[in-house]
Amino acid sequence: MREITFDIETKIVGFGRGRLNPEELEITVVGVHDSETNEYTGYFVEDLPRLWPVIERADALIGYNSDHFDIPVLNKYYPGDLSKIRSIDLMAEVQKVLGRRVRLEAIAQATLGRGKSGDGLEAGTWWENGEKDKVRDYCLDDVRLTRELYDFALANGFLKYKDLRDIRDVKLDTRGWRKKAKETPAPLTHTLGF
């Protein structure tokens, strides 16, 4: 089974009010881990045509807050509909159990003993200062955390989070995460040559 773990970094291109709207964001970098090659790769926005065939061959996309943020923003650039690919959003999985969202930093610190290497605001500043490689590296660090959390959850059936002062487990049903959808043919062929 080919799993693509991913994260995106963006910049705001308009004046937003309140919640970020995908239409107000532009991608700067997409970070990817490909389970088939075990490689981590960063794609700047101009490199996205090279990313599409990788994603199109995926059995599942794995992310953190990817269903409501990363995929809708990435869909602005993709000629098809990425929401048709099976998705495992770790934030959504945690939210199903807890009834609330928990930040990647909180889950990573409690589960892996280490957190993010920066934050989105810093990444925006780095991008504006022309430090593209720094943004790519930060994005790939988030992909590594997400991949390690996914692997931990598969192996243990739970992730950890900090609840006020205590570290608690959040039990996750991971039984279907690695199952291929037998009845559904590969949903995307927009960029593959035939």
At residue 118, the pLDDT reads 73
Give 148-171 pLDDT, tens digit per residue: 999 999 999 999 998 888 899 999
Q: Does pTM surpass 0.85? A: yes
Q: Which structural domain range is residue 23 located in?
A: 3-171
At residue 183, the pLDDT reads 43
Task: Between 124 and 172, name the one with better pLDDT.
Answer: 172
Residue 56 falls inside a structural domain: yes
At residue 84, the pLDDT reads 93
Six token digits for residue 66: 């990817």
Q: Mean pLDDT score of the chain, rounded to an integer?
A: 88
Residue 181 falls inside a structural domain: no
Q: At residue 128, does pLDDT exceed 80?
A: yes
Integer Cα distance of 143 and 163 in angstroms: 24
Task: Between 76 and 121, name the one with better pLDDT.
Answer: 76
Closest CA to 87 of 102, 100, 74: 74
Q: At residue 22, does pLDDT exceed 90?
A: no
Residue 75 falls inside a structural domain: yes
At residue 24, the pLDDT reads 77
What's the CATH number where 116 sits?
A: 3.30.420.10
Residue 78 falls inside a structural domain: yes
Residue 184 falls inside a structural domain: no
Residue 178 falls inside a structural domain: no
Instruction: Tell me how many domains the chain contains.
Output: 1
Residue 24 falls inside a structural domain: yes
